Structure 1
Amino acid sequence: MVHLQQPRLSGLGQNPAAPTDVMVRLAAHPAGRSGLRTREGRLPDEVAEALLTHGGSRSAVALHGRRVSPAMRRRIAEHPDPAVRNAYADFVRDMLERGVPMDFTDLVEVHGRSPAELAADPDPLVRATVAATWADRPVPVQVAFLADPDPKVRAAATRAECPGVPPEHRDRCLADPAVRADVARRVPLTPDSFARLLATGDQEVLHAVAANPYLTADMVAGLQDNEDPVVRVAVACSRHVTPETRDRLLATVEAEEAAGSDAAALALRWFPPAPDWLRDAPLAERLTYLDCPHPVFRQVLATGRDLPDRAWRRLDDDPDPTVRRNAARRPDASPEVLLRLLREHGDVHHVRPMLVDHPNFPRRALRGFVDDPDPRVRVLALRDPDLPLAQLRQLAACGEPFLRVGVAGHPALGAELVEELLADPEPDVAHAAAAHPVLPRARMDRLLAEAGL
């Protein structure tokens, strides 16, 4: 974690080349402890002991599981200070009470009990957390959650798509206000259950029903003139509407957005539904959407992998960047298609693998991105692990902090450039430079001396 006042010390705490004695000295400073607590891998016992000495229970929260040796875990479990002994367990319990999502393994470690025992815990907060995090729980456990007396537990059990609701329990769940919206979004509905859900007048339930992929043509027809724009956008994505009806529905919502409707804007821009059914449609049917005026249909079409060449040529030139990115993820995308797409629109870092890592991408072209006027494209040059020092210096001189952060973490970085980046006024850059393993030991000692450590 970057310490805004002393980012070089927090970065040094995360440096994989930092010797044990350096880490022990860092533990005496809040910024050093900030970096050490989030450092990858197991901490040496001397470092963990120093964190306990200087950071007390706050540092003890991070000293659990594989982060420390078995001997250190025993040391913490027997610590004379109860705040230290119970730090991690108290932290987990506090997160439970606040409703913060916790990893299931954390819950098991703190309680020292089996998943099945935790699922039957008398505390509803524990049961709700288990229901929300134990993804592969057996069906009998899921059934027990669906019948739990606490509505928070029942709601947690249906929040995710899996393990789902067994067919024999669907009617009861659709009548349960705690879970009916989540269930109505995912299970096949009968005409009677469809009518009962609409009769609730609950907007969340209405939105869930409209997004249900199992709606029949009659159900969709009954929703298409609804006043709620979220419903109309969802209906427009249904397989049961004609192109003319789809165009009309979306045009009305777009007109409402243009007139200043926040509800219409949210319906169109905030996680709008996608026609996922199109992925499984016959090829001939899918190809009829190649000229669809609504990008979301072309985006789904482009995720297919069995389209003819003529379709790929059209999708590779689509005006919507997401369509082009989806198409470029096919295994046989050409180097030219990938290079042109990245030069025009950059890459999307939160979708993995990135297009720059596509097997057909011409890696030799990465160095040519250094001079690109668009920083979103320029940053891709850093994907070359052997980028020459001269080009790293060029990127280190850029005004965009995220480019300098990327340079500070580059494997080909030299000690001289690391020194320059340590002085960067942007905390994230200085932190990344101090965390680089090329940082000389002598420079580490100077950083500690400057901090009085």
Structure 2
Amino acid sequence: MNHVLCGLAANAALPSELVNRLIAVADADIAMYLAGRADLSRAQAVALVSRVEECGVQLAYEGMLTAADVDPAAQPDAALALLREGAGSPEWARLFAADPVPERREKLAGCSGLPADAVEALAADPDVRVVAELASWTTPEVAAGLAGHPHAEVRRAVAANEVTPPDVLAALITGEGLPPAQRCLACDHGATPFVHDPQCPRRDCQLRPGASCDGSHESTMQDIQEAALQNPATPAEAVVDFAYHPSNLVRWALAARPDLPPEVYRRLATDPVPGVRADLAENPAIDDALIRTLAGDHGHDVRRRLAHNPHVPLDVLTHLAGATKIGATLLPRIAAASPAEIQQLAQSRNSAARMLLAQRRDLAPEVRDALAGDSDAKVVKSIAPHPGLTEAQLRAMVDRHGVQVLAKVASNPDASPALLEDLTRHEPSAQKALREIARHHNATAQALLACLADGQTRPIAAGHPALPPPVIVELLTDADRQVAEAAAANPSLPRSVMSDLLPRP
């Protein structure tokens, strides 16, 4: 890979005539960068895919190619991408439905709006992967027809398809009304009884760990149940009894469903598997009483997930904040808090509750300013990136809490050039702060030069447009290839240097 030319291909300031020169010498790596350019013209896109067929998929997905630009025989991947985007020719679908390469037929099967004869051919394909892919994305009518397919893997795909008719999904759970499956991936793999080694050394093996078949295709039949239980189109009355199923994974598949009776949720709240209870805890359909019960559950991840439930009462959330590591994130319940609740949280004696509130970026100035002056560094760290804070407030944060808040202060969109320069000189320093400074739009040349001294920050700083052009040019030959690539992508790189980097036509 030529990292400098790859960076140049991504340079937003690269003139159109130099883009053309780069297309003429592009390899697959350079083409990937060129295909992502926002200013690429259709003529340039056509020229690029003509030189490097692999980039056709990316260009097709980005709307840079039409059916007239692609030859399906010479550029099959691009043609399939256009079909997936609904921009290909129906004749292509018929062509690929008979393609000898199964991977292409499989990609075609994932496309919507295919001609009926192409769908019919795919549904009868001898490769089960092709039929299963069709079953995953096809229409309700075709999905219903494939529910009785002899191969259990196809039925599993039908069970996961959210447009499969509800009565068909209910039948897939029990098998009632459907002919018995004749094959599964496990018994395709070897003589039964067969159990797949979870540590299978074969790199080309596509069997799921632990897949097994004693002639009843048991592991895939359970996969079908799990897929149907998780499918929101499956009727609730068809799944409630599975709360008592002996399989942990089957019960787990129910925990996130929002349409179950309260007694099912109460049963799942006593499940011995913490993962089941954790999924349940985040389910917005559980009631207040169950939320309060789960707030005392010490199982792995249960209380943290409960904190993400949009209906968790504030008093419960405040308790959770002090007892559980929730992380620096804006919780749904905090985002939906009313003005009165915001005031309540801002005045809470629990610093963890104030820290959660400080994650909001739309606070009233008086609330924001009160949190900015908080005595707890965790609260200040959360509020530091909030827009609207003055330079004096940001400096006061650093004076009070030092390195603990340095990176978050540096990430504030209103941090001034002078403040960013001062932060690079702070002792002790913080590598995270340098990275924030290196990507900040207000960073000065002096601040960026300081960032270049840190190995991990150097690639970020090398791409900042405020870096002096002579420094950018020097970084083109840096020993770190990431730095050289970032320098080549820097829009402040002199145009004459851009031209010199390219082979002469």
Which category describes the TM-score, using the shorter chain as reference length? 0.5 to 0.7
Correspondence for 1:268 among 286, 296, 301: 301
Aligned to 1:77: 71
1:230 offset after TM fit, Å?
Answer: 1.9
Percent identical pairs in the alignment equals: 18
TM-score (norm 1): 0.66
Give TM-score scaled by structure 2 length.
Answer: 0.60
Q: Distance in 2 between matches of 1:385 and 1:296?
A: 30
**Pairwise CA distance, 1:10:** 0.8
Structure 2 residue 364 is matched with structure 1 residue 364 = no
Normalized per residue, which structure has more helix?
Answer: 1
Aligned mates of 1:212, 1:47 — CA distance in 2? 45
Q: Which consecutive residues of structure 2, in runs of 5 or more, have no partner in the other structure?
A: 94-110, 124-128, 176-220, 391-412
Report whether the alignment pairs 1:394 with 2:390. Answer: no
Give the corresponding residue for 1:318. 352
Aligned partners of 1:347 and 1:376 also within 8 Å: no
Of 497, 502, 505, the match for 1:443: 497
Cα deviation 1:80-132 (Å, max 9, x = unaligned):
xx4x3435236x5xxxxxxxxxx984365375679444688232567765776
Return 5+ residue gaps in structure 1 as ranges: 93-102, 135-140, 254-266, 349-353
CA distance in 2 between counterparts of 1:227 and 1:234 reads 13
Q: Distance in 2 between matches of 1:145 and 1:40?
A: 39
- 1:30-429 aligned at under 5 Å gives the runs 30=27, 31-43=29-41, 45=43, 48-49=46-47, 52-53=50-51, 55=52, 57-62=53-58, 64=60, 68=64, 74=68, 76-77=70-71, 82=73, 84-89=74-79, 105-106=84-85, 109=88, 115-117=112-114, 121-122=119-120, 123-124=122-123, 141-142=139-140, 144-145=142-143, 148-149=146-147, 155=156, 159=160, 171-172=170-171, 174-175=173-174, 177=221, 179-185=224-230, 186=232, 189-190=236-237, 193-196=239-242, 198-199=244-245, 201-234=246-279, 239=287, 240-241=289-290, 243=292, 246-247=295-296, 249-250=297-298, 253=299, 268=301, 273-274=305-306, 278-280=309-311, 285-292=313-320, 293-294=323-324, 299-306=331-338, 307-314=341-348, 317-318=351-352, 323=356, 327-332=359-364, 334=368, 337=371, 356=385, 359-360=387-388, 362=390, 363-365=413-415, 367=417, 368-369=419-420, 370-371=423-424, 373-382=429-438, 384-400=440-456, 403-429=457-483
* Structure 2 residue identity aligned to 1:88: A
Residue 263 of structure 1 is matched in structure 2 by none
Q: 1:16 aligns with which of 12, 18, 21?
A: 12
Report what 1:98 is aligned to: none
- Counterpart code for 2:337: R
Distance 1:154 1:376, change over 3 A: farther
Aligned length: 387
Letter in 1 for 2:257: N
Considering only aligned residues, what root-mean-square deviation do their CA atoms show, in Å?
Answer: 4.7
The Cα of 1:47 is off from its aligned counterpart by: 7.2
Render the CA deviation track for 1:160-201: whole Å, top value 9, x for unaligned. Answer: 8xx6777666633543645532443456744x74224633x3
Q: Using a 3 Å threshold, how does the CA distance of structure 1 residues 230 and 126 change in structure 2: closer, same or farther? A: same
State how far apart, in whole Å, the 1-side matches of 2:295 and 2:61 are. Answer: 54
Separation (CA, whole Å) in 2 of partners of 1:310 and 1:385: 35
TM-aligned CA distance change 1:11 to 1:226, over 3 Å: same
SS, match of residue 279 in structure 1: coil
